[in-house]
Structure 1
């Protein structure tokens, strides 16, 4: 890996605020949950609670992960006091949409609630358990249903915590996006409709549209890592988190083509664009969604839950993700794999209905989108296909550079 950053990218990407603001949000959410303590658990949460009550191994793990969250002066308040509160806090999320906040914004409330438990010894195991992930998927699907409904539009308002507020519009750069300024909710039909808003025509022109040697960014994102000589199988769970093609690509038939090649990975900010586009012109070979974990973290990055480390390389191998393999028009590039990864509560990687095998796509054409949460994306190239990359992975860790959609990120080799 040519570069990476020793930082917590959930926070760097704007998905969770600094610790003081996160604690304040948790306390407010706890008060809302207590005020609604008589509300029945949503069926998906009740099913998760039933799993806890009836599976002794899961009950042991979940109980221990809450107990293992450390105390100390750097830790102001325990996020979760006990299992009852764990389910109560989750239940409260299912009828709320992420609100804007200048500084204390929590766009991924499940991650905020589970943050500390995820990085405990027991939590590392719990969130890898297939039964737990199946239960969490039902919960996340229920939240997605709410976020797809008009009831989620309450935060698309001009109040201080609304996305139409002057500060929110500045942060989002709303003037770049398609919307109806005269409509009460900007013309959006739900929170998810707002989240996957499109750029206005002309906002992100495709670099060198007629030059097949120019590879463009497939998302509006910040470079995380560039790796070369990537192996078929590697120990992606260790501290340096190398890429393991067999696991990253879910044993796709194209794996052999990419052994010894390169991977470019970038992450998307909470307030930016969340659609993915083709980095090259070519023909779709395969396009599918690979189920995975939702709240698993790389324990090799450290067991101190008060300092959660980045796990993006690890997550690219285990989280829910789309895998789209494209045969580039440029024969030197060969096949290119686009792997959008749904980190934490992004259980929704939606591939476009027309992105099917045999379909030709232009460079910059839309492939699909994320919904409701934090996300990262990998581009995988064959060995010898790339002459040079035009971007760096975190040249300045304190001020990571956002790479706009359709910007040139690499140049193909002249020949192989």
Structure 2
């Protein structure tokens, strides 16, 4: 059971997990764990399933998925009948009015839809995965020079479950460098898996880039793949001017994670998100929603 905090209602809710029984069996039973290591975490397993989700044969899954998880299709640019495959539906674009962007230059916004954890004053060698499990930023991106820049800064972990909008966006005006790709496994990023697999983010396929933002300093963007995520697609153009809310990329089918690292003394994360994170609860957020604000220098 995954419980998260709804910022709007100020209540805790239970997440309806796609493939919940499969996840529990895979990550909680000896046979499931053997099957995971031998097959499920491998690239070819996710690639095969991803190919099916790209095919026209998969389109029959769209209507049942919408019904089972109560997906609000009034937000989608396309109707349910217009999708040509399940991945076409899964990576759907939304109408602009469905995700209004907080345009205040001092507002830090969420890069996507999902469940958010936020940590301040971070120790780069003891980043929190879940209670009892930590990992290092240097190992996550395989670059100690870049990681040192974010010492004592902020770490934001945005988990996208399969029912979420799966495009991720830039949180400010600025310029983004080229994406660095790191090969890896395809473990689930669901809390059930995070509680069982040490250094899971450091084991999975991931991509990272440095975004030079106008208002919040340098930001490290990391996208982490997961089981059945056929691809991480970067749609932005490196080294060109970017506007707040512009699309950075998207994940194909499966739950996934976007991780952001911000420099020290640049941003103050909203109090409710920090409080819930300290209790071990994720906060439900939408792309464009304010999640923090700029720390203004004394001379501003």
> Which TM class, normalised by the smaller chain length?
0.7 to 0.9
Which one of the candidate residues 128, 143, 149 is aligned to 1:257?
149
Alignment of 1:237-316 (within 5 A): 239-251=131-143, 253-295=145-187, 310=195, 314-316=199-201
Higher relative contact order (Cα pairs below 8 Å, separated by 6+ residues): 2
Question: Counting strand residues as a fraction of each chain, which structure ranks higher?
Answer: 2
Name the SS for the 1:172 alignment partner: coil
Match of 1:320 in 2: 205
Alignment partner, residue 221 of structure 2: 338
Query: How far is 1:346 from its partner?
Result: 2.1
Measure, in 1, the Cα distance between the counterparts of 2:85 and 2:265: 45
Is the contact made by 1:390 and 1:408 (CA closer than 8 Å) also made in structure 2?
Answer: no
In 2, are the aligned partners of 1:228 and 1:261 still within 8 Å (CA)?
yes
Correspondence for 2:54: 148
1:229 aligned residue: 121
Q: Does 1:413 align with 2:295?
A: yes
* Cα deviation digits, residues 134-193 of structure 1 (max 9, x gap): 982123212212211111112234xxxx246xx45x81011111114xxxx521121100
Contact persistence 2:3–2:281 (CA under 8 A): no
Matches within 5 A, 1:106-185: 112=22, 115-119=24-28, 136-157=42-63, 162-163=64-65, 167-168=67-68, 171-180=70-79
Number of residues of Structure 1 aligned to a counterpart in Structure 2: 288
What's the TM-score, normalizing by structure 2?
0.80
Shift of 1:394: 7.6
Shift of 1:14: 1.9
Shift of 1:335: 0.7
Aligned Cα RMSD in Å? 3.6
**Secondary structure at 2:159 match in 1:** strand
Length-normalised TM-score, structure 1 = 0.60
Instruction: Report the alpha carbon displacement of residue 283 of structure 1 after superposing the two structures with TM.
Output: 0.6
TM-aligned CA deviation for residue 15 of structure 1: 2.7
Q: Distance in 1 between matches of 2:128 and 2:268?
A: 26
Q: Which moved more, 1:280-289 or 1:254-263?
A: 280-289
Structure 1: gaps spanning 5 or more residues: 1-5, 23-111, 302-306
Q: Which residue of 2 aligns with 1:199?
A: 94
Query: Residue 340 of structure 1: CA displacement?
Result: 2.3
Aligned pair in 2 of structure 1 residues 148, 126: CA closer, same or farther (>3 Å)?
closer
| SS of equivalent to 2:179 | strand
Shift of 1:7: 4.8
The 1:13/1:319 distance shift into structure 2, 3 A limit, reads: farther
2:246 to 365, 372, 380: 365
Whole-Å Cα distance in 1 between the matches of residues 271 and 177 of structure 2? 27
Q: Shift of residue 320 of structure 1?
A: 1.6
Report Cα offsets for 1:274-314 as digits up to 9, x if no partner: 0000112111123233222213789xx9xxxxx86646994
Q: What do the CA deviations read for 1:239-275 (whole angstroms, capped 9, x no partner)?
A: 4334521123332642121112110112223222000
